[in-house]
């Protein structure tokens, strides 16, 4: 039913419709509203049978999920940012053991400096863990991806992470069609584990694997992830038939036909980019955008096809590899290596910095005139940067912490104590 509802609440209700049997979580902004709502549904009996476990850390949250999943229960958890890093060892373990856990990642940056706001640093930090990573453009898609995630996870016996932008989606209240229980039951069959701890049929899981077999075991994990490239579109198609709307899949193109310049991005910023694309189209420029829904496994062929006609590919990403540049860009570069297109990286929205249509339009205009740098930091306050660099260069001993001086510089200027 279409309701005006908070994204987190909608995700929680949807997850409950997926009948998870063990849910555990450790609070971290901006994931809290999701697990609070799931917890309340378990406590009231609305979600039953389900064990909701308040754990002492994210490391425990993923570990409890591992134990529950290995024992045959459908397991769900949610985290963000530092929490994801704190559970990192178990994140690898869950995929290494092939356990179909579903986790919401309410995307938030990683400190320091500490910052609770949105970007994709957390998701990028786990791109090599062996989890399937799906990115939601809207809250509707976030909701729909969770239903699909359980199907994908359990068919492949691999964990799936649904990434939704922290605060921007999790805390936004908008019209969302939250799936009905009957529809979810018809779409998502009961969990039949591929491997399970059973006293009647005892197996050992998690044995030590030496050099003689490790490469083969990892190769098989790679092959299984690639299977997802076929399964994900199939599940999305099934979903469209069952729910009457299109969500998920590998990539989505918007006004890319005849486009010279195509933007590539992940997550909720695609909405703002589409508005910018419309505006530039109205101004006569041939621009389009490709949204990547499935980030891992990376759909190389689908991305290559989507970008086939582009002369310029501009990857707008909310994360970067310090000391190098774009993260998503390197994947896109591989997908477009056979084309003649030029590739640009635009790092934007770090630590919650708003990505505005105005900034995007300015950037697109520059790209259209081939004036865009290969690596651009959108909306970067170069004045602050230059003053801090000068201060550091001038200091003879112990120049002090950069972040604190940048904040001080901004505050002084805002208060008019220094000429802006």
Q: Which stretch binds other proteins (CB under 8 A): 227-235, 263-271, 315-323, 361-369?
A: 263-271
Residue 207 within binding range of other proteins, rule CB under 8 A: yes
When asked if residue 399 is in the footprint of other proteins (CB under 8 A), the reply is: no
Q: What are phi and psi of 16, to 5 degrees?
A: -60, -40
Among 1, 4, 369, 398, interactor with other proteins by CB under 8 A: 4
Minimum CB separation from other proteins for residue 52, in Å? 9
CA distance 320 to 243: 36
3 state DSSP class of 169: coil
Q: Coil, strand or helix: which one is 346?
A: strand
Among 44, 45, 112, 203, contact with other proteins (rule: CB under 8 A): 203
398-404's contacts with Cβ under 8 Å and 24+ in sequence apart are 403/112, 403/113
SS3 55: coil
The nearer residue to other proteins, 56 or 369, going by C-beta atoms, is 56
Candidates 182, 192, 204, 369: give the one binding other proteins (CB under 8 A).
204
* Residues between 297 and 336 with contacts to other proteins, criterion CB under 8 A: none
Q: Is 356 in the site for other proteins (CB under 8 A)?
A: yes
Q: How far is the CB of 200 from other proteins (least distance, A)?
A: 9
Binding of other proteins by 354 (CB under 8 A): yes
CA distances from 48 to 281, 354, 373 (A): 51, 40, 55
Q: By CB under 8 A, name the one of 11, 28, 38, 70 that touches other proteins.
A: 70
Is 94 in contact with 83 (CB distance < 8 Å)? no
CB nearer to other proteins: give 189 or 354: 354
Strand ranges across the sheet with 287-292: 251-254, 287-292, 261-265, 312-317, 342-347, 375-377
DSSP conformational letter for 315: E
**Footprint of other proteins on residues 131-190 (CB under 8 A)?**
165, 167-168, 171-175
Shortest distance in whole angstroms from residue 197 CB to other proteins: 4
> What is the sign, positive or negative, of the torsion defined by CA atoms of 195, 197, 25, 114?
negative
Please tell me the total number of residues recorded for the chain in this structure.
Answer: 420
- 205 touching other proteins, by CB under 8 A: yes
Residue 275 near other proteins by CB under 8 A? yes
CB of 50 to other proteins, least distance (A): 6
Residues 9-38 that bind other proteins (CB under 8 A): 21-22, 24, 29-30
Name beta bridge partners: 103. 77, 161
CB of 75 to other proteins, least distance (A): 7
Between 235 and 270, whose beta carbon lies closer to other proteins?
270
Closest distance between other proteins and the C-beta of residue 335, in Å? 25
Q: What angle do CA 323, 392, 411 make, to 5 degrees?
A: 100
* Cα–Cα distance for residue pair 118/122, rounded to 1 Å: 10
Please report, in angstroms and rounded to a whole number, the separation of the first and last CA atoms in the chain: 51
Which phi and psi angles does 230 have, rounded to 5°? -90, -40
Q: What are the residues binding other proteins (CB under 8 A)?
A: 4, 6, 21-22, 24, 29-30, 49-51, 53-57, 59-61, 63-73, 75, 89-90, 93, 97, 116-118, 165, 167-168, 171-175, 197-199, 201-210, 213, 268-269, 271-272, 274-275, 352, 354-357
């Amino acid at each position: 039913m279409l309701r005006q509802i908070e994204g987190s609440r909608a995700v929680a209700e949807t997850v409950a419709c997926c009948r998870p049997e063990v849910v555990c979580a450790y609070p971290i902004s901006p994931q809290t509203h999701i697990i609070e709502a799931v917890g309340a549904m378990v406590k009231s009996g609305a979600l039953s049978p389900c064990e909701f476990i308040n754990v002492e850390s994210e490391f425990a949250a993923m570990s409890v999920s591992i134990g529950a999943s290995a024992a045959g229960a459908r397991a769900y958890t949610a985290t963000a940012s530092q929490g994801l890093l704190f559970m990192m060892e178990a994140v690898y373990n869950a995929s290494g053991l092939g356990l179909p856990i579903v986790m919401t990642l309410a995307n938030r940056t990683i400190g320091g400096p500490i910052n609770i706001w949105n970007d994709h640093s957390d998701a990028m930090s786990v791109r090599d863990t062996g989890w399937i990573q799906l990115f939601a453009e809207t809250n509707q898609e976030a909701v729909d991806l969770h239903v699909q995630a359980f199907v994908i996870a359990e068919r492949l016996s691999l964990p799936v992470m649904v990434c939704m932008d922290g605060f921007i989606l999790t805390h936004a209240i908008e019209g969302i069609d939250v799936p009905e229980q009957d529809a979810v039951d018809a779409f998502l069959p009961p969990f039949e584990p591929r491997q399970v701890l059973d006293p009647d049929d005892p197996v050992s899981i998690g044995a030590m694997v030496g050099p003689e077999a490790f490469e083969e075991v990892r190769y098989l994990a790679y092959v299984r992830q690639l299977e997802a490239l076929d399964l994900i579109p199939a599940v999305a198609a099934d979903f469209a038939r069952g729910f009457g709307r299109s969500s998920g899949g590998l990539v989505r193109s918007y006004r890319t036909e005849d486009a010279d310049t195509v933007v590539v991005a992940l997550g909720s910023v695609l909405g703002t980019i589409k508005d910018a694309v419309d505006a530039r189209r109205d101004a006569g420029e041939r621009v389009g955008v490709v949204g990547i829904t499935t980030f891992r496994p990376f759909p190389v062929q689908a991305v290559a096809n989507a970008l086939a006609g582009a002369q310029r590919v501009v990857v707008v990403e909310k994360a970067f590899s310090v000391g190098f540049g774009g993260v998503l860009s390197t994947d896109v570069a591989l997908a477009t290596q056979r084309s003649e297109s030029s590739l640009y990286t635009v790092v934007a929205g770090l630590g919650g910095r708003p990505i505005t249509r105005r900034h995007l339009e300015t950037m697109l205009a520059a790209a259209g005139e081939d004036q865009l740098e290969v690596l651009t930091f959108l909306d970067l306050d170069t004045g602050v940067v230059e003053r801090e660099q000068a201060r550091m260069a001038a200091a003879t001993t112990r120049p002090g912490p950069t972040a604190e001086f940048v904040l001080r510089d901004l505050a002084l200027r805002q208060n008019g104590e220094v000429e802006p």
